[in-house]
Structure formats: C-alpha cells, structure tokens
Chains A and B, each alone.
Chain A
Amino acid sequence: MFAEAFAQALRSYRAHRLRSLLTAVGVMLGILLVVVTGCVGAAFQQAMINQTKIGGERSIQFTVGSKANLSFHYLPVFDDTNLLAVASTPHVVRTAPVNVYYSGAEPVSIALSDGSQHPLVSAVTATTPDFFTIDDLTFAQGGAFASAQPQLVVGAGTADQYGLHLGDQVVLTLPQVSAQPFTLKVAGILARLPNTLFGNSGVYNNLLAVPIALLPSTGRYVALDAQVDSTANLTATESGIEQRLNAVPAIQVALTKSGYQVIGLSQADNVATVGALLGQVQIFVIVVAALAAGIGGIGIANTMLVTITERTRQIGIMRAVGATRRQVQQMFLVESLVISVVGTVAGILLGLLLSTGITLAAAFPLSFAVWSLVVSAVLGLVVGTVAGLYPASRAARINIKEALAYE
C-alpha cells in the first residue's frame, strides 16, 4: 500500500510540478538555514579551537579577574609560595612566574645598536625560560634566554618592527624596575604565528621577554603560568589550583577591594566560551529555521488542501472501489511527506554546498555538523507529517456520494 501511495504521490507531484516545487522550496529554505548554520558554525568553532591552541594546549595562566567573561588583570598578588604551591600540584609538570611592564607615566623604551631610541608600544614580559615551553612556542632563530643572563627573546613582529636580528644588542629602559637601563642580547626570535581573530598570536608576535631573574626581585608576580601533563587533566587541575590560590589569606586580602578572584585561563576555557557563544547563536538560528520550516509546513498544508479539493472526485472513486478512510488518509499523508522530503533533501544538499563554499571562502577548516543533518531530517519528517495530518484526515472524512457528484 505504501509503494502505491508513494507512486500516486509522485504522479501528483509530476501533475502539479510547479506548485509542488514551490511548496518544497518553502521547506527547503528552512532546512538550508539549519544545515548552513550547523556546518558553518561547526567550521567556525573548529577554527576558533585551532586558534586557541596557540599558546599551548596544556598551559594555564593564573591571574585575577572574572572567569564569566574571560577578563583578567595583571595585579601583583602572587608570590614564590604560591608558585611553589602550583608547582607541587599533581599533574603540573612545569611553572613560570610572569611579570608584565607597560609604558605608563614612566615610558619603557628600547635603544638599538645604531643609537636610535624607541618608545616600546608593547609590554615587556619578565619570566623564566620554561615560559616558552609552557606556551608551546617555537623559535625561528636561536632559543630561549638563559636564566639571569642579559638576554631577551622577541616575537617575529617585534623583530620586524625594530629590525632586530639574532645576537643584536639593545638597551632596554624599564623605569618601573630600575633606574639603570639593561643591555641585552637577542637570544631568540619566535617563529611568526598567523594572525587570528581569536587567541594569543598577536601577543606572541609582539613579545619582548626578558629573564625575570635578571631584574631586581619584588617577590611579587602578576601571573603564574603552568603546564599540565595532559589535556585530560587540564580542567580539573585548573579548578583545583584556582580553589587553592583563592584560599590563600594574603591573596584574599589583596583582592578584597577589587572584587576579583584568582582565575585560571586555558584553551579549554576559550573553547568553552566560544562554544557557549556559538551555541547561543545556533539555538537562535535553529529557532528561526524551525519557524521557517513551520512556514514551509503551512505551505504544504495549504497545497494539500487545494489538492484534496481538486481531487475530491478521485477520493470518492477510491472510496467507492474499496479504499478505507485510513488508506485515503495514508495516501495523502505520504503525498505531504514526499513534498517535505524533496524539500528536506534539496535543503540538505544545497545547505552542504553553500556551507562548504562559505567555509572555504572564510578559510575555516571544513567541518560538517552531523547534528544539523539529523535535525534537518527530523524537522523535515515532522513538518511533512504535521502539515499533512489535517488535510489527510479531511480527505478521509469526505462523503463518498458527494465526492462522486463533485465537478
């Protein structure tokens, strides 16, 4: 019976090609939206994840701020005891204290070997050699500075900006730390990282890092970097250390007025934030798409009602020759489903095509959101069934005698 109902549906589809096609297009647009949103969203998310990998998949930076909106501040609240506490945490394999100096009332400047002096736009990072390993940075030339040696490491952007080469000597004026300038030799230049919308590539390209041991000790750090043994232990270790540091009385006192707390920021946090953001966008678009598919469904219902009116006499004939009400209902339900399935399949195929085009054009990694295909298929079936139910049951209720007399 289903095969015959399907054959009849195809005959009807062919007989009213344009009408059926336009109705299917209504469904197709809704489905197209779901697929494009799903696939482009997934590709965008993957691109974001790839970008957040810059800076180390296993690294965490502990600063103070708010985790809810991923905002952080460099406040000198950590000391060597805290660093030791982080280093002794299970799964932590290496740590690095970090201080960051910006130009402010006392400008940071750099004097080059040719005698020219330049105000430093980017910050100066003071840290230990492990910093480069923790943040998974690779060198184009040279390597990490040696601890307490008068050396510096620069990012590719910084090297370009000041025309620095490996072995060049520069004089760094860092009035926040010392009245005496530091004469430093370029020990390493980082490999250039691609510019990304999201992530830390800009920070590393513009890096100017010096050994923290070289500078007079303040006993305070604005950040503590840590690397864990595997990404599987990242989140648990991060939250464990957060709790531990937030429980330190000295830190609590230091942060009382600010309202901040110690937060760990890692790739997992970035991914979660991006995912949550995209999730919200996707839910919104799916609601819009469901509405569009619903409108498509109304189109199907309308077409089916017209079809049933046109075929009233046929329904009478079918009932006269022995069709039960259920069989008539099935026949029109299948017809409604055929329109919906045609729209859904076309929507999925065009959606995949369009999202591939957008993904390639935006240079995102190709990613197909299987969930969007499943949602589309289910949506198509639901729309086809719901839209066909009323017209089909109306067809089944038609009075045979009146239907046979229908002109």
Chain B
Amino acid sequence: MQQQALRRDRAIETPNGKRGSMESPDLPWVLEAQSITKTYADGQERRVLDDVSIRIPRGGFVALRGPSGSGKSTLLSILGTLDTVYTGTVRVAGEDVRKLSDDELARLRRTHIGFVFQQFSLLPDTNAMQNVELPLIFAGMRRAERRARVLEALTAVSMQAQARQAVSHMSGGERQRVAIARALVARPDVLLADEPTGSLDSTNGAQIIEMLQQLRRERSLSVLMVTHDESVARAAETLYELRDGHLREVCIEPLDARQRGHEEDANVR
C-alpha cells in the first residue's frame, strides 16, 4: 500500500510543464533508444556509438559494461538527454526527446530521470539537505513540501541523521548516498548511474548496490548502471556490453557456474 501511495504521488509535473498527469504513461519501457549513432570529429572522425538500440524495462535493472573509451558514458548522456547531438531516436516515458525544447528536456530530466555520477557531483559549501532538494527547487515546489520530500529521500538512503551535515565533511560512501537521495527525491522512473561505486571501496560499493536493489524493488524503479565491476554487473537482470561502438546483450553467468568453470580449467591444467 505504501509503495502504491508513493507511486501515485511520484511525478510533480509533466515534461511539457503541465501539472495534473501524475503518472507516466503505462508503457513497458521507461527508456528506449533506437539506432543511436554518435560521432566525434576531433581531428579525425570517430564513431563512438554505431546504430545502438537499447530498452530499459519498467522496474528493470540493466548494467552496461565495456572497456574505457567505448562510449558507455556517452550512451548514458544521450539516454539522460544531457547530450542531444546524435542520430537516432530516444524516448523517455514514451516521449520522443527530439520533439522537446531545451526547457522541456530540463523538466523531463527532473521528472523522469535520476542521475548518479561516479564523482558524486554534489554542490560544495552545502549540506546534504541543500543538495537533495535541488531538483525540487527547480520544479518550483514549496519549501515545506520540499523539506518533507528531502527527509523522505534521505531516510531511504539512511542519511536522515546527517541531513544538515556539510557534504565536505562526509565520507565517500555517505556522499554517494546523498547523491542517490538527490536522484530519488523527485521520484523518477529511471536511475542512470555512471559507475556509482567507482570511487568507493568494495564494502561501501556493495552497500550502495544493495541499496539500489532495495530501492528498485520498493519503488518499481528502473536502473541503468554503467560499471567496470564484474560483481556489480552480475547483480543486474540484463547486462549489455559496448565495444567498438556496438552494443550487445551478454548472458550473465551464475556465480557457481563460473566457479565451476574455473575449477574445470584447473583440473585440465
């Protein structure tokens, strides 16, 4: 019941700025990209993404891996509407982002997409609360309502006690929790996480992944995560690999099967 209540109240405005429609269209995909091609022309033309298509199902957990410079972050930027220079089609909550103005894209981001970056990307000289309330400020939410929502988001990442603590005095794990709370506070459909555990030690990294899994279950949240970490990639339901500009789905091997494989290799040797 509590989850339903959260879901009903999640969107605070629609991408075109009209209030009233509180729920995204009931589509199976929250994020959908078709035939994305991205070329960089720095000196010589370099095709980073070549006819890439991907769909993020509602409530799904998708991981994206690939070697450094393979275009993972570029793809994430395009899916998150941060980069608009490409060919192909991106739909967020059923909305073709090409048809939206810059202001509408901003509204789309704060309504449907939550971002978590590797370097936390928190505003310095502020506390946890001031960081988390940022998307709600831009949405024009009233202070009292905003404060309640911020506390709810901080509670979800177990950081309510540090609400007024300066982020500069926090550990890496705590900062990433604040960053996740900020990504969640507007109750988005999908969380785009660019190596969220990349700057954390293994214990903190595991806790963050566990937290994301739990939030995903509780809130029917979709997660698309770029990662280098094999264990993180295995936590996903779907794993994609980006290599030489091409995207392919990778079959996730269960841990015991992999271990068995290693043991067999050892026997052969």
Contact = CB atoms under 8 A, between A and B. Distances in A.
A314 B103 CA distance: 18
B198 to A, nearest CB: 14
Contacts of A4: 137
Contacts of A58: none
Interface in B68-127: 77, 80, 82-83, 102-103, 106-107, 109-111, 115, 117, 121-126
B182 A321 contact: yes
A1 B137 contact: yes
A324 interface: yes
A250 interface: no
In this complex, the interface size class of chain A, counting residues with CB under 8 Å from chain B, is: 20 to 34
A404 B82 CA distance: 10
Contacts of A3: 143
Nearest to B103: A324
Interface in B204-229: none
Main secondary structure of the interface of A (DSSP, over half): helix
A317 B121 CA distance: 7
A218 to B, nearest CB: 89
Contact of B83 (A15, A322, A401): A401
B186 interface: yes
A322 B113 CA distance: 9
A322 B110 contact: yes
Interface in A1-42: 1, 3-4, 11-12, 14-15
Nearest to B182: A321
B138 A322 contact: yes
B54 interface: no
Given A321-B109, A327-B138, A11 B103 contact: no
A314 B124 CA distance: 9
Nearest to B111: A322
A53 interface: no
B140 A1 contact: yes
A85 interface: no
A323 B106 contact: yes
B134 A325 contact: no
A378 interface: no
Interface string A301-343: 0000000000001101111111111110000000000000000
A211 B27 CA distance: 112
A324 B81 CA distance: 13
B135 interface: yes
Given A11-B126, A317-B121, A322 B135 contact: yes
B200 interface: no
Contact of B186 (A14, A316, A322): A322
Contact of B80 (A320, A323, A324, A325): A320
Nearest to A16: B125
Contacts of B123: 314, 317
A319 B83 CA distance: 12
A11 B125 contact: yes
A321 B102 contact: no
Contact of B77 (A11, A321, A323, A401): A401
Among A3, A4, A14, the one with the most B-chain Cβ atoms within 10 Å of its Cβ is: A4
A3 to B, nearest CB: 8
Contacts of B140: 1
B140 to A, nearest CB: 6
Among B102, B103, B107, B137, the one with the most A-chain Cβ atoms within 10 Å of its Cβ is: B137
Contacts of B83: 400-401
Contacts of A320: 80, 82, 109, 115, 121
25 contacts: A3-B143, A4-B137, A14-B125, A15-B125, A316-B121, A318-B134, A319-B82, A320-B80, A321-B115, A321-B135, A321-B138, A322-B106, A322-B107, A322-B109, A322-B110, A322-B138, A322-B139, A323-B134, A323-B138, A325-B106, A327-B106, A327-B138, A400-B83, A404-B82, A404-B121
